[in-house]
Chain A
Amino acid sequence: MIPLPLQIILTAITASILAGITCSLIGVFVVHMKLSSIGFCMSHAAFAGAALGLLLAVDPLLSALLFSTLVAFILGPISEKARLSPGVIIGIMFSLTIGLGFIFLNFAPGVAATQQALSILWGSIFSVTFDDLILLGLLTFFIVFLLTLFFKEFQALMFSRKLAEASGINTSVFYFLILFLAGVTVAFSLKLVGGLLVFALIVNPASSALQFIYDLKKVLVASPIIGAITCLLGFLLSLLLDFPVGSSIIIVSSFIFGLSVVLSPKRRRG
């Protein structure tokens, strides 16, 4: 293993913990509302955005972030207007963004452009800068703040959108907000674990917490704790065994999920 400066390691560890907290917090909603394919969709939106950035000669990471945020913003209203389930719209957007990405790349100058755009899908935790860390920290704070502020609306929406609507809660706004936050979380975490692996960070810790707990408030506390521990253990595993960080995090989170399923009291009879 190549020795790395302590500052880079500390930045990377902090970033992975923050991403673990953010992804697994929003993951509670994504898992419960069966929106997990949003991870694929947003990562490919970021890929298309990066390709567009290369074509227009702007920072590909910035354009990836902007493009995926835009897709996150329009997902909810499109699914509502088209009267289709978000799963269908997410699937359509997923294929559309891949198509757009390759069209943009086709016109982008140089072979290196393809490699650069594809790197968005894989991520690199050691390239995380202090500015990225601040951005991730702000996102974590923003999500925690919104969840605290509108907890009762999110709780009612998660229990039953129809009943929440019937009791006078404007569910569309909060539904769009969840889709948007999920999309933005994926976009911001791309640089860390990559678009393909961020999916597991959203799904696994939340699914693990849901194996044990019946109280939404406790799930929203436990899931980010599991997410943070997962990222920390994954990071240490990668340093010890010289594995890629993203892959190590996924292995640890999958192991924790497997263990949760085995030990889950929800799966016991009686």
Chain B
Amino acid sequence: MGEVIVKLSEVDTIYEGEHLPAIKGINLEIRQGEMVSIVGPNGSGKTTLLETVNGLLKVSRGEVRVFNVDMSRDPMRARKNIGYVPQDFISDHSVPFLAQDVVLMGRYGKLGLLQNPRKVDFEIAKEAMRLVGVEEFAHRPIGKLSGGEQQKVMIARTIAQEPKLLLLDEPFSNLDIDSRKEISEKICRLHEENNWTTIVVTHDLFSIPKRCNRVLVMDRGKIVAEEDPESVMCSVKSLTGFYRGLRQ
């Protein structure tokens, strides 16, 4: 494995108006080329952890470094190389954006100020749409697509960004079983081909990509266990029981 891409040291994140941290005392290192899945029951802090990594949420204690950049000081520099697919992002049916616009927007952070998308950016966006299988929706309004189609567009948008670190928050939640398998395999292939570092958050243990190196189990804002994917998949039944046990 390569250099450390994501490093969290004793990180607490508290939401505004709350007293208790949503995640607390998180220590985590993820190296280049690793694919890490974060699992846990609802409200265990998985999304908070992901949004703390890309600096969308400010830490109340500790330090987050991504590409060796302190995310509380200069998040913009690192974010150009961080692809992020948010949880359950659904557009209103009347929004004035076509699917191809949304995918092209993945390129905007990299382009910088006063730079308009060039031919190469349109081509990259088109290729990302082709990879995810949404090229036929290119000219359709994003809000008119189904939840699953929108989720694919969001994944295409992130691929078009050509990130070095990929943060996926429940990326398959709206997809049917066949699409879930297909997209998961494509992401794994791109991950390997491009030497990406990937973090996949999911509550569904069957959505853990096969290629994944580590599985972190979260509960009540803490990382409570680290497993290897094979043992998780072999003991899904007991891990589901484990979720229930954590809550009781």
Interface string of B65-95 (1 = CB under 8 A from A): 0000000000011011010101001010111
B105 is contacted by which of A32, A159, A218 (Cβ under 8 Å)?
A: A159
In the bound complex, CA of A169 to CA of B56 (Å): 12
A152-B111 in contact (CB<8A): yes
From B56, which residue of chain A is reached at the shortest CB distance? A166
- The A contact surface, by secondary structure, is helix
Interchain CB contact under 8 A, A214 and B109: no
**Chain A residue at smallest Cβ distance from B17:** A83
Please count how many residues in chain B sit with their CB below 8 Å of the partner chain's CB atoms: 34
Indicate if B161 sits at the interface (CB-CB under 8 A). yes
Q: Quick check: is B206 within 8 A (CB to CB) of the other chain?
A: no
Q: How many A-B Cβ pairs are below 8 Å? A: 81
CA–CA, A175 and B238, complex, Å: 48
Q: Is A131 an interface residue (CB 8 A)?
A: no
Contact B97 A216 (CB under 8 A): yes
Once A214-B96, A215-B98, A216-B96 are accepted as A-B contacts, the answer to whether A167 and B108 lie under 8 Å apart by CB is yes
Cβ of A156 within 8 Å of any chain B Cβ, yes or no, is: yes
Q: How would residues 146 to 157 of chain A score, 1 for a CB under 8 Å from any chain B CB and 0 otherwise?
A: 000111110110
Q: Interface 1/0s, chain A 45-59, versus B by CB < 8 A?
A: 000000000000000
Instruction: Establish whether residues B86 and A159, one from each chain, have CB atoms under 8 Å apart when the complex forms.
Output: no
Per-residue B-contact encoding for A190-210, CB less than 8 Å = 1, 0 else: 000000000000000000001
Total interface residues in chain A, CB < 8 Å: 29
Contact yes or no, B76 A215, CB < 8 A: no
Contact A155 B109 (CB under 8 A): no
Contact of A32 among B96, B102, B106, B116 (CB under 8 A): B96
A–B complex contacts, Cβ < 8 Å, 8 sampled: A159-B91, A167-B109, A168-B76, A168-B80, A168-B109, A213-B96, A214-B98, A215-B96
* A residues with CB within 8 A of B: 32, 83, 149-153, 155-156, 158-160, 162-170, 210, 213-216, 218-219, 266
